[in-house]
Amino acid sequence: MLELKQIRESPELVQTRLQRRSAEYDLKPILELNRQQQELESARTRLQARSNEIGKLIGQKMQAGSDPKSPEIQSLKEEGNQIKTQLSELEPQEKEVKNKQLSFLLSFPNLPSESTPIGKSEQENVEIRRWGDEYLPKISNLLPHWEMGEKLGILQFNRAVKVAQSRFVNLVGAGAALERALISFMLDQQTAAGYLEVMPPALVNSQSLTGTSQLPKFAEESFKCEGDDLWLSPTAEVPVTNLYREEILDAASLPIHHCAYTPCFRREAGSYGKDTRGLIRLHQFNKVELVKIVHPETSQQEHESLVRDAEAILQALKLPYRVVELCTGDLGFGAAKCYDLEVWLPSSNTYREISSCSNFTDFQARRAGIRFREPGKKGTRLAHTLNGSGLAIGRTMAAILENYQQSDGTVKIPEALQPYLRREVL
C-alpha cells in the first residue's frame, strides 16, 4: 500500500511514477477524501476540546457553590448535549470517509523503483544474462512434456479431469516420485543456503491476502471456501509473510529468510486459451517459495541474492535459463522491482517463466503492519518484504521432461536428483 502522506505531499511525483506502469491512476478522488477526513478530524477535535472545557467549567462552578439549576450551568449542559449529538453524527461520517480512502489506497499498485526499466509491455523487458547453453538438447523432434509424460505413463490429464476438471494433473509412479524428489531437493538446497523451512497452513484468511496484496484486486483469481473467511492459498508468499503480520520485530532479528513447500491454487482468470495443455498453467500446483523480511537498507542486496538462490536450483539441475528484468509495464501489482527466471522449453522453442523474484519494498509491510524497532531509536520502521519461487515444481518437471529427452525415448534424470530417485532414467 502506498503511503498516504507521500500522495498528499507529492501527488505529481506519485502520479508520474504510477503512469510508468502504462495505466491510468487518478489521485484526485483520494486527495479529496483526505481533505474531507482532515476537515472532519479537525471539527471533531474542536468539539471534543469544547466538550472537555464545558465539563471543567461545570465542575469548577459547582465546587464554587453555584446552583446546579442555575441558568448558566443549564446553558453549559445544553451546549454539552448539543456537542455530544454533533460528535455522534460526525463519527459515522468520518468512518465512511476513512473506509473509502482505504479502498482507494488498496487499489493502487506499488511505485516502480527508479532502477526499473521503463516500458509498456513484456516486449520491453530486459534480458540480463543467460546460463547453460552447453546443456541445450542435442536431439531433434523432441516431444512436448505432456506427450512425453503420457508416453511414459507418469502424467494423467484425462483422469484428473474425471476427478476434478481441466487444468489438473494426476501424477503416477515415477511422476509422483519425481515431484516429491524435486520438492525435497529444493528444500535441501535452500535450507543449506540459510533459509529456515516452514510449513504454513494451506488455507488463509482475507486479512492475509490483503496484507500481501492479492485482495481486493485479484479475488477472482483465487478459490474461496464457502461459509468461511478462508481461501486456498495461491502461493506460500501469503501465509509465510503474514506469519509476522501486525508484529513489531527487533532489528537484530532481521533479516528473516524462510523457505516453504506448499500446494498452490489459482483460477488463472483471464488466461484461458493459453497454455491449456501440460504443466505450465494448472489450477493446483506445488511450489517451493523463498520469502525474506529485511531491513530497508539491505533490501536491494537481499533481492540480488534471492535471485542467485533461485538460479542455483536451475544450475544444479543443469537446465538452460535466462534472467529477465521486468519493465514498468509488466511489473506485478505489488512489486517495485522484479526479475523473472525463464527456463528453456525446447518443444516451444522459447524460454518460459519458472520464478518471479520480487522486491516489494515497504508496500506489503504497510498493508500487513510488519514493523521493526532499532535499539536506541524512537518509534518503529516498516520492514521490506521480498519473495520468489525456488522453484515452481511442475514447470521444473516440464523442463526436465523436455531438456533431458534421450534418442532412445527415455528421459534422463538430472544427476542432482538421482540420489533422491535412486534411478538414472524415466
Grid cell of 269 as nine digits: 482468470
Point out the catalytic residue in the list 50, 130, 180, 281: 281
Residue 361 phi/psi, 5-degree rounding, is 45, -130
Assess contact for 12 and 25: CB atoms under 8 A: no
The identity of residue 362, as a single letter, is: D
Rounded distance, CA 254 to CA 371, Å? Answer: 11
**Catalytic: which of 20, 367, 371, 395?**
395
Residue 173 burial by CB count (10 A; 0-12/13-18/19+): exposed, middle or buried?
exposed
Catalytic residue among 44, 353, 373, 374: 353
Which three cell numbers mark 376? 536506541
Residue 352 bears catalytic tag: no
356 has catalytic annotation: yes
Active-site option among 299, 356, 358, 389: 356
Q: What are phi and psi of 227, to 5 degrees?
A: 85, -5
What are the Cα distances from residue 245, in Å, to 143, 207, 218? 46, 9, 20
Pairing of strands 384-392, 284-294: antiparallel
Q: 306, 268, 260: which is closest to 286 by C-alpha?
A: 260
Helix or strand (DSSP H, E) at 27: none
Sheet architecture: strand order including 350-359: 126-131, 321-325, 337-345, 350-359, 384-392, 284-294, 256-265, 196-198
- 395 assigned to active site: yes
Q: Is residue 294 within 8 Å of residue 302, measured between CB atoms?
A: yes
Core vs surface per residue 386-395: b (16+ CB within 10 A) or e: bbbbbbbbbb
Report the distance separating Cα 286 and Cα 183, nearest Å: 8
Give residues with Cβ within 8 angstroms of 218, minimum separation 6.
234, 269, 333
423 noted as active-site residue: no
Helix extents (H) in 193-333: 206-211, 237-242, 299-317
Q: What cell does 293 get?
A: 523480511
Residues that are catalytic? 266, 281, 353, 356, 395
